[in-house]
Amino acid sequence: MTLNVLPVPVDRWRAACEDAAAQGARLRCLYAVEGERGPELRALLGLPDEERLLTASFAGAPVDSVLEVFPAVDWDEREAHDLYGIRFAGHEPLRALVEHPSQPDRWMTPVHGHGTHQVAVGPIHAGVIESGHFRFHVVGERILRLDLRLFYKHRGLQRAAEGRTLEDGIAYAQRACAACAVASSVAYAQAAEAVLGLAPNAALRRARTLLCELERLYNHLNDLSAICAGIGFAPGAMAFAALKERAQRLNARLSGHRFLFDTVTIAASPPQLDERAAHADRDEVRALRAAAAAGWRELLFAASVQDRLAGVGVLTADDAIALGAVGPVARAAGVRRDARAEGDPRLWYGALAPTQPVTASGDVAARAELRAVELEQTCEIIDDLLARPPERPDTRPAGRPQPIGIGRVESPRGETVCVIEASGRTLRRLHLRTGSYANWPVLAHVVPGNLLPDFPLINKSFELCYACADR
């Protein structure tokens, strides 16, 4: 896929976005950078036959918001405003996202009426959960509106990575989130290798694909456990937690780390798998697959479990498309969107088709089922890749070095996009938009109308990370 960088005058910003949208573009990300003469704006748009990066210099006047063109851009524009001071005309009200102002009306939706009240949750939660604040506006138990206040964990990772070498920068992408470490690192590596004019050989593509699927395996098992925990169904939560532990031990045996840390490097081969260990672990993957399928069957036959999952937290396919939902959340709503199925020549997915639940009802039940179905597919890919004889992963020259590179990987939570701007081997700007970042606003959209006690369940069925949204 070719990347075309297209500078546009600031007053043509919206028109350029509309042109792309008319050609069928999807928003991949919008972000700001600190240019030589003030902040600059970037928008990466995925068109049917090209990736287009619009760039605009910003002279202090407001830029036209593209919220109406791409509703998924809501958080991106608010983040660019909070971090770089860019004002977006037409994005009203432009509520604070990264900033935490004390005045309620600067970050919260005003909700008035008979019997309405607020329920504040977080940033510290009752269980072992990441930090973030939820403000529910409710009448009785019924949720009218949810305002998210995340970015409590904002560590400024993207800014901290600026000025590092391309090789060192990958640690910042990886550390954004442990549960998506491989997806973020591979996306970074793809972007960095595009900058250096390198492409992975077949062996490296297979090695990275294997790592991505190992990450999906333990995450999906974790998510099924979390969904059971969300309704207080301890036998299911514990059974899938035990399977997740087995998957993480498998990771440790194959890569030396339970979260597969430091397995992706730029333009260098990852640690090679031991052939005999890989062979033994194929049996373990098959056993895990059988145990997960058996566990899922039990959940299907537990009537009280099914009754809690069905019809809760419904996302329609139209809303999923409009809001730019990604990953299992989108697929469970019937949107067959999966970056793995796009035949990326930098990974090894072949003719993979996006999974779909039997009924893509977009509720918690569909999101749970989607993960159970996807686990089978993931185990199949892992088994296939482990069966191959040891290879020599490497990169080879492929074209001229570029100042900007992009990477795109389907993480367990959805499409992760990484954009790198570099001069030589020095990283000038890193932007990471993970599946969680894309899906948090979708969660806030899905929750109203549901009961407050169902929120933990809906939240678990999305199972988004706070860390990789906050960065």
Partner 1 sequence: MFVLLHRLQRLRRELDLPAPARAGSLALRHVDAGSCNGCEHELTATASPVYDLQRFGLNVVASPRHADVLLVTGAVTTRMAGPLLAAYEAMPEPRLVAALGDCALGCNVLADPGELAGPLDAILPVDLRIPGCPPTPAQIADTLTGALDLLTSHRSYTLRRGSESP
Binding site for partner 1 (CB under 8 A): 100, 123-124, 126-131, 151-157, 159-160, 171-172, 175-179, 181, 222, 235-236, 238-239, 241-242, 244-245, 248, 258-259, 261, 291, 294-295, 298, 302, 465-468
109, 137 Cβ separation under 8 angstroms: yes
Q: Which is nearer to partner 1, 139 or 290 (CB)?
A: 290
The CA-CA-CA angle for residues 74, 78, 81, to 5°, reads 145
Q: Residue 344 in 3-state DSSP? A: coil
Token couple for 4: 């075309």
Q: Which is nearer to partner 1, 129 or 353 (CB)?
A: 129
Q: Which is nearer to partner 1, 59 or 129 (CB)?
A: 129
350, with CB counted inside 10 A (0-12, 13-18, 19+), is exposed
Q: Residue 278 CB, nearest distance to partner 1 (Å)? A: 22
How far is the CA of 127 from the CAs of 54, 122, 124, 230, in angstroms?
43, 11, 9, 11
Q: Which is nearer to partner 1, 152 or 342 (CB)?
A: 152
Q: What is the CA radius of gyration of the chain?
A: 22
d(CA 359, CA 327): 17
Q: Residue 306 CB, nearest distance to partner 1 (Å)? A: 12
The CA-CA-CA angle for residues 145, 337, 450, to 5°, reads 20
Q: Residue 397 CB, nearest distance to partner 1 (Å)? A: 30
Q: Which is nearer to partner 1, 295 or 414 (CB)?
A: 295
Element (H, E) at 340: none
Q: Residue 130 CB, nearest distance to partner 1 (Å)? A: 5
* Pairing outcome for strands 38-46 and 26-35: antiparallel
Q: Residue 95 CB, nearest distance to partner 1 (Å)? A: 17
Q: Residue 297 CB, nearest distance to partner 1 (Å)? A: 8
**How many beta carbons lie within 10 A of that of residue 421, not counting itself?**
21
Q: Which is nearer to partner 1, 6 or 300 (CB)?
A: 300
